[in-house]
Structure 1
Amino acid sequence: MASSPRPGWQLTSDLDEFHSRAATFLHSVPALHTALLSVTDMLRTRGLHVYGAEDPLFGIRTGGNGVGGASDGEGIGGASGGGGVSGAFLWTPPHLLALSPLADDAAEELAGVLADAGLALPGVGAESATAATFSAAWQRRTHVRAAVSFPQRLYRLGTLTPPEPSPAGSARVATGADRALLARWHGEFHEAIGEKGAMDAGEWADARIAYGGVTLWESPDGTPVAMAGNTRKVAGQVRVAPVFTPAGLRGRGYAGAVTVAVSRAALAAGADEVLLFTDVGNPTSNELYQRLGFRPVRDFTQYSFTR
């Protein structure tokens, strides 16, 4: 990796180098690194420009300590647990900077390194304390305005508890014949949450179909009525995303049924843990996933930066 202008952080545009140096650290606590793990996996399997035309940027921090555990007891592998690595980030322009949980000094250091490099970041997404510290430091360095754009909660599956009664119908894995439907629902999902998708809808559908990464719930007559996506298994974890039911079909139990189906399939395929993110401001989804057996791990926050 190229030397950074500040001690601790090293930056690179070489995905293989980043992966070789950061993998042990990221695998040390996969739940808290789930976004970095899944994005890195997608870049390795679908190409460096799957999220956009610009080259991604990666970084690791060596030395120092990782972030200690919160009330969930979830810690971060620091210098001793990650081969000397105590932090990591990746940036796939034009999307948000994605950070591992960081100690305050590491987050502030990184803001200085990236500001000195002249980068124009659109925002940041990370564990909430890390995101807040980085955003405050970025504001001081660059005089942008930072605002919370999407508060999230990470959940981990405990004991899977199917809804009773389950809606009529059954689950099946989406295939190439479903491509147009998946692309359309991908767009509708992001429109519903008010967030631009990280990938082109067609590319997203192709990537997911390639590894069986979307499960559909069908009514008894074979009509798809909901979908649940899943990331590929990385470091023993699978993340459910997205879960979507078209507006006119909501409130009938389809989202719960398809989430159970995709979670059960992940466990059957050997996943050690099944994760998902929710919108903290959506009580309906948070209550649903807790009824299904998901338990809160930690809160994450996305900030947008504007001039």
Structure 2
Amino acid sequence: MRPETCHLTENLGDFFVRAEGFLHSRPALHNTPLTVLEKLRKLPGGEAIVFGWMERGGEVCATFYLRQSARLSVTPLSAGQAEVLAAYLAGLGRSLAGVTAEHDTAAAFAEAWHQRTNAAPTLTQPLHLYRLGTLTPPEPRPAGRGRAVGEPDRAQLIRMCSEFVTAVGEVPAVDADSWASSRFADRHFTFWEAPDGTPVSMAARTSMIAGMVRIDPVYTPARLRGHGYAGAVTVEASRAALAAGAKDVVLYTDPANRTSNALYQRIGYVRITDFAVYDFA
């Protein structure tokens, strides 16, 4: 019998008491659960999420959470631990729509879940995770300037986020009515402006947690690409994160987008690991 034990709670406070130290121990790698859970802590009464952790020898060795969409997110596991978690959740009769995790963890859990439930896994989204090394502004610098987005920019910001959501196929859509409950509402945005003051690109950063800030999203309208705006605005957002005291500045990329991956490497981001999203039939 393996020594790991799994625990569940619907109480976010209880979960943080047990798991916060573990999540803070590797903030770059744990950036997604940290930001998701921090938002829930600041805005209680929103989405109902089931929280869980795995212990070995009385110490937390992994955490996970299950959203209303029945999607599981989990911190890195060994293959044996993935089997333990799959057996635990299947034994509780839990239904899963998919899993998001570090690449090898996601693959191991998807296979273990398939063996337990016969639900066929499909890899739907591979991801690269980058961490900022030495920030290197691009040369030549595009015309214009970066600036923090403020309340007077709200309508323009919502329009650009709506364009971004449409461009990448995210759901739900974003508009003025849904803004407050969207994933963008608690972000700190930066615009890159053309010399005439027109915003031509945007980047956002999360609030700092355990010395970590994630850059997300970065967006330039298709008609304005190819001028270096995305690199310039990402540098400005990254610089703001460092000025706020961040020790880990991270971002995710689509491996299929060679342009963005090359761009982030040029300005100082270093790939540290891969993630994967699986759907279960």
Indicate whether the TM-score tops 0.5. yes
- The alignment partner of 2:260 has SS state of helix
Query: 1:14 is matched by which residue type in structure 2?
Result: N
Q: Unpaired segments of 5 or more residues in structure 1? A: 1-5, 65-78
Whether contact under 8 Å (1:95, 1:198) holds in the other structure is no
Task: Work out whether 1:61 is the aligned partner of 2:54.
Answer: yes
1:122-170, CA deviations, whole angstroms, 9 ceiling, x for partnerless residues?
2111100000011111122222221111110111111101011111111
Q: 1:188 to 1:11 in 2, by over 3 A?
A: same
Partners of 1:96 and 1:286 lie apart in 2 by 27
Q: 1:23 aligns with which of 7, 20, 24?
A: 20
Which residue of structure 2 lines up, in the alignment, with residue 69 of structure 1?
none
Which residue of structure 2 lines up, in the alignment, with residue 239 of structure 1?
214
Q: 1:104 to 1:198 in 2, by over 3 A?
A: farther
Partners of 1:197 and 1:287 lie apart in 2 by 29
Q: Give the paired residue count.
A: 276
Which structure has more relative contact order (CA 8 Å, sep 6+)? It is: 2
Query: 1:56 is matched by which residue type in structure 2?
Result: I
Partners of 1:184 and 1:123 lie apart in 2 by 31
Query: 1:15 is matched by which residue type in structure 2?
Result: L
Partners of 2:262 and 2:19 lie apart in 1 by 35
Whether contact under 8 Å (2:144, 2:193) holds in the other structure is yes
Q: Unpaired segments of 5 or more residues in structure 2? A: none
Which residue of structure 1 lines up, in the alignment, with residue 157 of structure 2?
182
Q: 1:273 to 1:174 in 2, by over 3 A?
A: same
Once the two structures are TM-superposed, the CA of residue 305 in structure 1 deviates from its matched residue by 1.6
- The alignment partner of 1:302 has SS state of strand
Partners of 1:158 and 1:132 lie apart in 2 by 28
Q: 1:148 aligns with which of 123, 128, 133?
A: 123
Superposition TM-score, scaled by structure 2 size: 0.91
Partners of 2:51 and 2:39 lie apart in 1 by 14
1:49-198 matched pairs, under 5 angstroms: 49=46, 52=47, 55-63=48-56, 84-94=59-69, 96-196=71-171
Q: 1:258 aligns with which of 233, 239, 242?
A: 233
- The alignment partner of 1:166 has SS state of coil
Once the two structures are TM-superposed, the CA of residue 190 in structure 1 deviates from its matched residue by 3.2
Superposition TM-score, scaled by structure 1 size: 0.84
